[in-house]
Chains A and B, each alone.
Chain A
Amino acid sequence: MKKVLLGFISIIFATQVSFAQPVSDMAVIPMGITIQNIMRLTITKGGNMEFVFKTASDITNGLGPSTAYETEGSVVASQAWQLDLSVDAATFVGEVAATTIPLNVVEFTPTVAGTGAGTAFTGDLSNGWPSNYTIVNAGAVTSTATFNIAWECGTNNDIPATTTSGRYTINVLLSLLPEDGF
């Protein structure tokens, strides 16, 4: 009995009393942020362009550039942007006649204005086939940038003399994109 008691006493002596006090406390608040970049292109004028050649002078001199042949639009972008042009066919396609008109008869001269408007480049529609052609680059964050595209047809590049009468169409696509390399 004495040995048991002595052993018990030894255990008590060997026992270390420990305390854990809450001297500080923490709370964790997870925070999430979602960014959806805004790229908004609005055409405000000249969404449908029609060149009507009805006189010999029109054929000889071409049509445009003039206010009658302008497309205007605006850009809202929350990051660097560029405006690309492309077409959906390799030539103008006749509605009735089987003939076609080459793309380069239509030329364009874009201009830009406003904060973050970037730099504009001229060209003709053949630049937009088969891949995109950048008509405005180095656009910066903006809500006020505007652009104007002055169109002309048959002024520098004549409509081929073999072209038959009729209506020839093509779709021009303007694409507002994040600037290359962003």
Chain B
Amino acid sequence: MKKYIIIVIILLNFSNVYGQNGIHSKITTLTGSSVFFPFNSYTKLYEGMEAGYTNWTRFRILYFDTIAGGGLDGSSHWELMVRANTGNIVGDGSVSPMTLDKVELLVTYTNDVGLTVTTPYTITGTDTQIIGNGTNPTGTTVGATVGPNTEVQVSYRVGRNGAPPAANTLLGEASGYYFVDLVFTLRKE
């Protein structure tokens, strides 16, 4: 009897072994984990700020989507989303907030494919895809399952959407400190 019970226990342990498929995604900030724009001259306010913020933030992307029994799912794709975690750019203290459209992103994507996204993304309060499979604004198909060498660079510009003074100029905004958190999400598309 004791022998049968031991056999049952062993069999039960075997039942806990799975051959599963799943997704592993990891986004790592390499540089530029925060960004700050000091508008301290009329020229900066008039022209906006962009110079010096090229490829300011660099992310390393790791994404694996496996199939049952092992191997990578070639049909699986990832996407990188961005959003602000508040509905506007919050003014510190009693300073009135600014609209999110003051901030724009330019994204460069480097892997075997290589992609430079030249269309600036305006930040909103909802997730916006900045890199995806065939749906990015350039129309280039990217986002295939990639390994640890994929890197995404993000450039920033503020108050610079068009010829100065731009449509989203900061001229006329009240003095003060403003802040917003940008949330980048890596996930299966």
Name A residues whose Cβ lies closer than 8 Å to a Cβ of B.
Answer: 1-2, 5-6, 8-9, 12-13, 17, 19, 21-38, 40, 76, 78-80, 141, 143, 182
Comparing B41-49, B131-139, B142-150, the segment that makes contact with chain A is B41-49
Q: Which of B8, B29, B34, B177 contacts A33 (CB 8 A)?
A: B177
Q: Which of A22, A24, A38, A182 contacts B45 (CB 8 A)?
A: A38
Using known A-B contacts A22-B25, A35-B45, determine if residue A17 contacts B179 with beta carbons closer than 8 Å: no
**Contact B40–A36 (Cβ < 8 Å):** yes
Name B residues whose Cβ lies closer than 8 Å to a Cβ of A.
Answer: 1-2, 5, 8-9, 12, 16, 20, 22-29, 32-42, 45-46, 57, 59, 85, 89, 98, 102-103, 154, 156, 158, 165, 170-188
A–B complex contacts, Cβ < 8 Å, 28 sampled:
A2-B2, A2-B5, A5-B5, A9-B5, A13-B12, A19-B20, A21-B22, A21-B23, A25-B186, A26-B27, A26-B185, A26-B186, A28-B85, A28-B183, A29-B57, A29-B182, A30-B35, A30-B180, A30-B182, A31-B34, A31-B37, A32-B37, A33-B170, A34-B38, A35-B173, A40-B42, A78-B46, A78-B172
**Contact B42–A24 (Cβ < 8 Å):** no
Using known A-B contacts A5-B2, A9-B5, A27-B27, determine if residue A78 contacts B45 with beta carbons closer than 8 Å: yes
Query: Chain A at the B interface: mostly helix, strand, loop or mixed?
Result: mixed
In whole angstroms, how far apart are the Cα atoms of A8 and B176 in the complex? 65
| A-B interface, 9 closest residue pairs, ranked by CB to CB distance from nearest | A24-B187, A38-B42, A37-B175, A33-B178, A29-B182, A32-B36, A23-B23, A36-B40, A33-B37
